[in-house]
Chain A
């Protein structure tokens, strides 16, 4: 985004950004220790411990109701934790109002003010800080050129497309120069084509700003594509966290393997193991199962199988010569590709 703007540098708060700047100063160390949030009797977030290093792109991933959005809202200050402490850049931010935390939130479906034009939407938080009209408008303009929306200053949100609204929301969140940008399902309102485009823009923005991004999503594709750190949550707790490759290649539990997808889970002698579907092949001796369906995926074929107990498996292969639904088959894999799963 930035490299294509005509101006060579954009002033962001007190950070000077330019396309040449390779290493912006990294900030936004986020620490949650023993954070619990109860709604009535149920704990939406249960004794959560998490450390996010400065300038990390962190994805909070999980099914709906796992506590990821609550965690984000606790960070933003829109919820107060029942117990525990939250630190941003080594300062406790518990009890601080959202605007004084050094975080900024981009809301799901953006929550742009419908009665204000693009420029005033972006300048709103500066206005609330008592910054004069000339300065807040010039800073808002800088932000809007960072997201390539400088041509739409006087439009109302309703006159913008979904992707444009998203850029304005991003500019609005970034205008206060936060150390941590909190994104609540930022891509869910976009069509799939735009989603891929915005994904790469988010990534680039993250690289250029050097601040931490915390991105809530239920899509493992999104998390794998964007994150430096994936935190997979389940029922208010962290099921597994790590780099995308680690999470995908070495799932700790059956839940992780299932949620990340692309794994077969095999029960053997009371223990479960996971094997990646792209490392599973069809052979002549091994786990017996029947082919129930074959789908063409473009790069190859996805073969769905079911064994005698009704467990489902899938195999990714480049060729399906001689295979058809209804046939009996055997699944084989290398010993080295087996991942022993925790009993949980």
Chain B
């Protein structure tokens, strides 16, 4: 990618103008891919979000109808707020729970791998083992919870057999619990990997220096390890927040189509061919998630890590 001109006389046939353009040509393929598959769809969504629609037609227009309908009644708290607001609150609730649990689990696993495992060989083996579930699709990983958690599932049968419960527990499946469980299962690795990467860069002598200074395990963790692992924690948090905020499959399957989420609204609107409404929802969601990411990156400079 270097743009420094070749030595004089090294390439006599190449003019200086062509040399100056070379970096542009080198960057062109990726630029085209990003334009075609990222910028254009995003712009199209933004444009469509201002269109009008009927039951059977999309009408190119410039109207705020979709945004207006989305926030209709949102100022009226006596009726419990609007659907949009309640859905966002429910999604945030899920997101915060999943984020907190994956962060604790991810940091614990990463800490174990980075500092408790002494041999590099074993460390990498265990790390690859962590990624093994990703060899199956996430739908299969999700669905495989059903025989375990269902009314007639293994856990309920076991609990009834040992007499702990008289009737099957209803909240195990198709509940918020099940959704959070599935999210944690799916996304903990997205926290573990960047945190592990951050922790591997911590000189183990710093832990000894902390011990020498009289810090026990928890204070070493709090005062030395976590501050130094912060970039990894922020990157992992961004993964989890983005994935959970936009999800509709896990919420649908594990929540038994009973739990509201923003992704679910968009999916439903799409299925009724209300593309402009869905596009407007998507734009608002995008804006909110971007704000969250900006807030997180204000806390920690993650460019240092990349």
Contacts and interface: CB of A to CB of B under 8 A. Distances in A.
Interface of A: 76, 78, 97-100, 104-105, 107-109, 111-115, 124-125, 128-129, 172, 176
A111 B208 contact: yes
B209 interface: yes
A114 B219 CA distance: 16
B186 interface: no
Contact of A78 (B211, B214, B215, B219): B211
A114 B228 contact: yes
Given A113-B224, A115-B227, A97 B214 contact: yes
Contacts of B212: 76, 78, 98-99, 104-105, 125
A128 B208 CA distance: 14
Q: Which of B208, B213, B214 has the most CB of A within 10 A?
A: B213
A113 B209 contact: yes
B213 A107 contact: no
Contacts of B203: 109, 111
B205 interface: yes
Given A111-B203, A115-B227, A115-B228, A128 B215 contact: yes
Q: Which of A100, A104, A115 has the most CB of B within 10 A?
A: A115
Given A125-B213, A125-B214, A128-B215, A107 B208 contact: yes
A111 B205 contact: yes
A128 B213 contact: yes
A129 B214 contact: yes
Nearest to A100: B214
B227 to A, nearest CB: 5
B206 interface: yes
B206 A111 contact: yes
Nearest to A128: B214
B213 A124 contact: yes
Interface in B202-240: 203, 205-206, 208-215, 219, 223-224, 227-228
A98 B216 CA distance: 11
Given A78-B208, A107-B205, A111-B205, A99 B213 contact: yes
A104 B211 CA distance: 11
Contacts of A129: 214
Contact of B214 (A99, A109, A111): A99
A109 B206 CA distance: 10
Contacts of A104: 212
Nearest to A108: B205
A168 to B, nearest CB: 12
A97 B214 CA distance: 8
16 contacts: A78-B211, A78-B212, A98-B214, A99-B214, A100-B214, A105-B212, A107-B209, A111-B208, A113-B206, A113-B210, A114-B228, A115-B227, A115-B228, A128-B219, A129-B214, A172-B213
Nearest to A130: B214
A128 B209 CA distance: 12
Contacts of B210: 113, 124, 128
Nearest to B209: A111
Report which residue of B209, B211, B212, B219 has the largest number of chain A beta carbons within 10 angstroms of its beta carbon.
Answer: B212
A98 B228 contact: no
A172 B215 CA distance: 14
Nearest to B208: A78
B224 to A, nearest CB: 6
Interface in B178-215: 203, 205-206, 208-215
Nearest to A107: B205
A300 B206 CA distance: 46
A125 B224 CA distance: 12
Contacts of A98: 211-212, 214
A113 B223 CA distance: 10
Contacts of A76: 212
Contacts of A105: 208-209, 212
A80 to B, nearest CB: 13
Contacts of B223: 124
Contacts of A114: 206, 228
Contacts of A99: 211-214
A192 B223 CA distance: 35
A210 B224 CA distance: 32
Nearest to A99: B214
B228 A97 contact: no
Nearest to A123: B213
A129 B213 CA distance: 8
A108 to B, nearest CB: 8
A131 to B, nearest CB: 11
Contacts of B219: 128
Interface string B50-67: 000000000000000000
Contacts of A124: 210, 213, 215, 223
A304 B223 CA distance: 56
A97 B211 contact: yes
5 interchain residue pairs of minimum CB distance: A99-B214, A125-B213, A128-B214, A111-B205, A111-B209
Contacts of B215: 124, 128
Contacts of B208: 78, 105, 107, 111
A128 B212 CA distance: 10
Nearest to B206: A111
Given A113-B210, A125-B214, 7 more contacts: A78-B212, A99-B214, A100-B214, A124-B215, A128-B210, A128-B213, A176-B213
